[in-house]
Amino acid sequence: MNGIATMTTLLRRELWESPIAFKWTPLILGGLCIVLVLMGLAMGAQVDYQLAFTYDIVRQFSEQSLAERRAIITPALYGIVALFNAILFIIIVFYLAGSLYDDRKDRSILFWKSLPVSDTSTVLSKLLTAMILAPLLFLIGILLTQIGILMIASVYALGAGINPFSAFWQPAGLPMMWLTLAASYLVQALWLAPVYAWLLFCSSWAPRLPILVAIGIPVLAGLGQNFYTMFTGFRFPDFNIWVLTFGRIGQGVLPVSFNFNTGGQDGQAEFQALDASGVPISLELSDLWARLVSINLWIGVGVAVVLLAGAIWFRRRATDN
């Protein structure tokens, strides 16, 4: 119980130190989405006398089948998810890259080491912030934004004289969507664990600019590898560092999945498609389960454990000199 209380306090510390990134950013993003929707509707109202054309479109939409309405609403709602997740990933990258470095830079590490908190707990709290706390706060922002958008649509449905629940809320299927999103965040956290651990590892020892160190090492390593194989065999390497690194990231930032594969001299890049109902394939519960039990995910978790051990080791030695 004491360990749980300690970790909870450490997580609250991370939230307290980065309130704009984790608490205010999802709220600001949600507010911007709603404001943009309202601005678009207001501009449309300028040329649509008494909203006759708008109400006509709403009525025509309500007359479509449930599957057709779902195929329109679902991608729109997942578009909000894609925006939030892209911003979330960028925030996490910069947060983790500076999390251990900043303590060394301003010497506040001396204060934190004077507290009865182990270096292991400190490093794990930063990882859990990236894997659980930040996604949870952004998930709340997504839910509020989706509800806000549907409430705006409901106002127009009432104005058009139709039932907003059957027209918009039922095809949206928010409870199942939210359950799937929560599950996807857990799988995403495990899938990106080696990326997060790498950022923490670089943050624990980099003398300066850890974000450039974390990005530069795989970029330069991949550049050297590709130059060597191109000059010696005029082909891409079978084990490509760039594909391994950026493919991992591209397949982890849901719901937009980006795959890049090389085979011999040919390369192929593609975005994850939607299924017939407009649901991103990577967010189907069956696909999430397949990802969860895949060997690639757990190999990455194993790599993350090694990198975290390295980050903890460097953290312990940070004040030796």
User: What would the pLDDT profile of 92-146 be if each residue is shown by its tens digit?
Assistant: 999 999 999 988 888 888 887 788 888 999 999 999 999 999 999 999 999 999 9
Do 138 and 250 lie in one domain? The reply is no
Q: Are residues 72 and 158 in the same domain?
A: yes
Q: Over the chain, what is the mean pLDDT? A: 85
Are 189 and 135 in contact, with CB atoms under 8 Å apart? yes
The residue among 123, 145, 172 that closes a domain is: 172
Q: How many domains are there within the chain?
A: 2
The answer to whether residue 205 sits within a structural domain is: no
Q: Identify the weakest region by mean pLDDT among 8-22, 141-155, 235-249.
A: 235-249
d(C-alpha 260, C-alpha 269), whole Å: 4
Domain that holds residue 231: 210-316
Q: Indicate whether 124 and 260 sit together in one domain.
A: no
99 with 225, same domain?
no
Query: Is residue 291 a part of any domain in this protein?
Result: yes
What pLDDT, on the 0 to 100 scale, is given for residue 264? 42
Query: Would the pLDDT of 281 be above 70?
Result: no
How does pLDDT run across 44-98, given as a tens digit for each residue?
A: 888 777 778 888 888 999 999 998 999 889 888 988 998 999 999 999 999 999 9
Residue 198 covered by a domain: no
Residues 157 and 215 in one domain: no
Give 11-20 contacts, CB < 8 A, sequence gap 24+: 11/125, 11/128, 11/129, 11/133, 13/125, 14/99, 14/125, 14/126, 14/129, 14/133, 15/129, 15/133, 18/95
Same domain, 219 and 163: no
Among 94-108, 224-238, 266-280, the range scoring the smallest mean pLDDT is 266-280
Q: What is the pLDDT of residue 285?
A: 73
SS3 state at 259: strand
192 vs 251, residue with greater confidence: 192
Share of the chain above pLDDT 70, in %: 87
* pLDDT at 150 exceeding the cut of 90: yes
Q: Tell me the pTM.
A: 0.87
